[in-house]
Amino acid sequence: MTAETRIITRVLAGDVDCFRHLVERYQMPIIRMISNIVPDSHMCQDLAQDVFLTAYKKLSSFDPARSDFSTWLFAIARNQSINALKKKRPISSPELPEKPDSHQPYTNLAEKEFFVQLDRALADLPPKQKTAFVLAEFENLTYQQIAQIEGVRIGTVRSRISRAKQKLRSALKDLAGGDA
């Protein structure tokens, strides 16, 4: 029995305070995943809260024999993010967070430009490719876990990620001087 399964068992037995351990563990990965699907930072925070509320309400339906808790939770986050996108159009473009100036001005400018271009390239990806890419590259999920979250075969996940990488490479090629 995993630590997560023990926590879930305790929550289902009435120790609702234990659920905060799951929230603390997965809050940042869930927010990161949502923010790569939904670019509105305020909406991301709201969606993350909704994800955990939904997970809490449906905790009794979680089956550890079918998937890991993280896979189940990411599937909830993915579905709620996609539903939010369908309901709310258009979405404002995200702002890059300001960070302390620790580089030379030209390096900082080049870095900022790279991330702006990367954000644009990610935003231009088809939603299914973007989701698969984000889950693999930013959340470090396995292809098997992504396949479970997306409800597709592993080959489909591989294909989506491969196509996403090709499109990103192509979009960022000019920025890297054609060597990307």
Q: Which of 64, 95, 126 is where one domain is finished?
A: 95
- Which range of 1-10, 84-93, 145-154 scores highest in mean pLDDT? It is 145-154
Which residues are CB-neighbours of 23 under 8 A, at least 6 positions away? 52
- Kindly indicate the confidence band of residue 75, based on its pLDDT and cuts at 50, 70 and 90: very high
Query: 89 with 4, same domain?
Result: yes
Query: 129 with 164, same domain?
Result: yes
Query: 40 with 118, same domain?
Result: no
- Which range of 14-28, 31-45, 165-179 scores highest in mean pLDDT? It is 14-28
Provide the pLDDT for residue 104: 54
Q: Which of 80, 95, 110 is where one domain is finished?
A: 95
Which residues are CB-neighbours of 122 under 8 A, at least 6 positions away? 36, 130, 133, 134, 168
Please, what is the average pLDDT of the chain?
A: 83
- pTM here is 0.65
* DSSP SS3 for 95: coil
- Domain hosting 170: range is 97-180
% of the chain with per-residue pLDDT over 90 = 42
Provide the pLDDT for residue 49: 93
Query: 105 with 75, same domain?
Result: no
Q: What is the CATH number of the domain that holds 75?
A: 1.10.1740.10
Provide the pLDDT for residue 122: 85
Query: 31 with 89, same domain?
Result: yes
CA dist., res. 179 & res. 147, Å (int): 32
Query: 167 with 145, same domain?
Result: yes
Q: Which two tokens stand for residue 164?
A: 């996403």
Which residues are CB-neighbours of 120 under 8 A, at least 6 positions away? 171
Query: 117 with 88, same domain?
Result: no
64-83: average pLDDT? 90
Per-residue pLDDT tens for 157-175?
Answer: 999 999 999 998 888 886 6
- DSSP code per residue over 57-79: HTGGG--TTTS-HHHHHHHHHHH
Determine the Cα angle at 14 with ends 77 and 51, to 5°: 10
Query: 144 with 79, same domain?
Result: no
